[in-house]
Amino acid sequence: MSPSARSFQAYQNVSLTSVATLPDTVTRHWLGPAFWGNRLQDWRLNNGQIECLRGEAGYEVRTVGVLTREVISGDAPGHLRVRTGLLEDADRGGFCGFLIGVGAGALDYRAAALAQRGSGTGGGFFCAFETDGQVRFREHTDEEAPLDFAVLPAERQEIDPSQPTTEEEILLEVDILPRDDGQFDVQLTARDADGTLRTRAMRHGVDENELLGGISLVSSPPPGESGARWWFRDLRTGGEKFPTIPIALSDRSSVPSFRSTTTLSNCRRSSYRSATQIHRRCGSIIGQREVSRRGVVRLQRSRRDTRHYSASTTGTRAVRGTTA
């Protein structure tokens, strides 16, 4: 596996910054000011790590939007790293990892943070570690087959693609590396907790438009089946491609945010404060409209729960399905 000389130089100069320090003394559904869980009740913060609570059939692609990071335009490298592991047996199938490029740079970050489940225009692509021990890139843009998550072509390097266990910790890394031709190489690496290489894949010659936009953590069972659940901790980013937006200087940490936290455990009564009045009620979203950096983004009104929403560059698209 051979990135370009320029890509390799960028990869050698990696400096990573923690996205957030997670408290290790609480258990709650709210994940903190830097994150947005989809759906709220599908995730919890538990003793310093983010845990997905749903692995049943129909709960594909549970996501955690990262509110203080995004991929921006520019001829520069970017790096992601997270520690992850299984909460349930790998024999059930499924994957975890990152969803990047949500909104293709044309969707407001608040709408991009809601992307989950079905694919759609501007839905980005997955950088996934799977229960068979392999890493794969999967698409998340197919309007005709929104739950297929087809594998994208990539060069592979397999060192020890053994099936993970619930006792193991996996270090998952994504490196976006600029090339001389204006495109990017995207490298996905899985390591043991001590840094030993397990497996690696690389997409060569990726257009920048595929990379721009929001970033999310992902836990997913196989489409249409029950499957594995995953935990995450110690999310870090680096490089000019992933600018850090300090919480103290940004309204992003409060959009969406809670005015009342007295009913987080059952989600029966929660109100959120944002410039666009995005509200959740018992797992549903009632969206009005919000002004993005490039115009108006509409959030469709639906009585279905938010796991059936995916981001597109024209708004948030509802994908039909059953409610929880």
Full pLDDT tens readout for the chain, 324 residues: 555 555 545 555 578 999 999 999 999 999 999 999 999 999 999 999 999 999 999 999 999 999 999 999 999 999 999 999 999 876 789 999 999 999 988 888 888 999 999 999 999 999 999 999 999 999 999 999 999 999 999 998 877 678 899 889 999 999 999 999 999 999 999 999 999 999 999 999 999 999 999 999 999 999 999 999 999 999 999 999 998 876 544 556 544 444 333 333 333 333 333 323 333 332 322 232 233 333 323 333 333 343 344 444 444 443 333 334
Nearest C-alpha neighbor of 66 from the set 41, 100, 42 = 100
Cβ atoms of 279 and 272 closer than 8 Å:
yes
pLDDT for residue 160: 66
Q: Is residue 192 part of a domain?
A: yes
Q: Is residue 289 part of a domain?
A: no
Q: Which residues touch 188 (CB under 8 Å, ≥6 apart)?
A: 97, 127, 128, 135, 136, 137, 154, 172, 173, 174, 200, 201, 202
pLDDT for residue 312: 44
Q: How far is CA 117 from the centre of its chain?
A: 11
pLDDT for residue 247: 57
Q: Kindly report, residue by residue over 18-66, the tens digit of the pLDDT.
A: 999 999 999 999 999 999 999 999 999 999 999 999 999 999 999 999 9
Nearest C-alpha neighbor of 173 from the set 60, 40, 285, 11 = 11
3-state secondary structure (DSSP) of residue 163: coil
Cα separation, 139 vs 275, whole angstroms: 32
What CATH number corresponds to the domain at position 66?
A: 2.60.120.200
pLDDT for residue 134: 95
Q: Is residue 87 part of a domain?
A: yes
Residues in a beta bridge with 284: 281, 305
pLDDT for residue 198: 94
pLDDT for residue 272: 32
Cα separation, 115 vs 124, whole angstroms: 9
Q: Is residue 316 part of a domain?
A: no
Structural domain harbouring 137: 5-248
Q: Is residue 179 part of a domain?
A: yes
pTM of the model: 0.78
Q: Kindly report, residue by residue over 137-146, the tens digit of the pLDDT.
A: 999 999 999 9
Number of domains in the chain: 1
pLDDT for residue 206: 98
Q: Is residue 236 part of a domain?
A: yes
User: In angstroms, what CA-CA distances link 62 with 95, 161, 261?
Assistant: 11, 24, 22
pLDDT for residue 292: 32
Cβ atoms of 187 and 204 closer than 8 Å:
no
Q: Is residue 323 part of a domain?
A: no
pLDDT for residue 161: 72
Q: Is residue 121 part of a domain?
A: yes
pLDDT for residue 318: 38
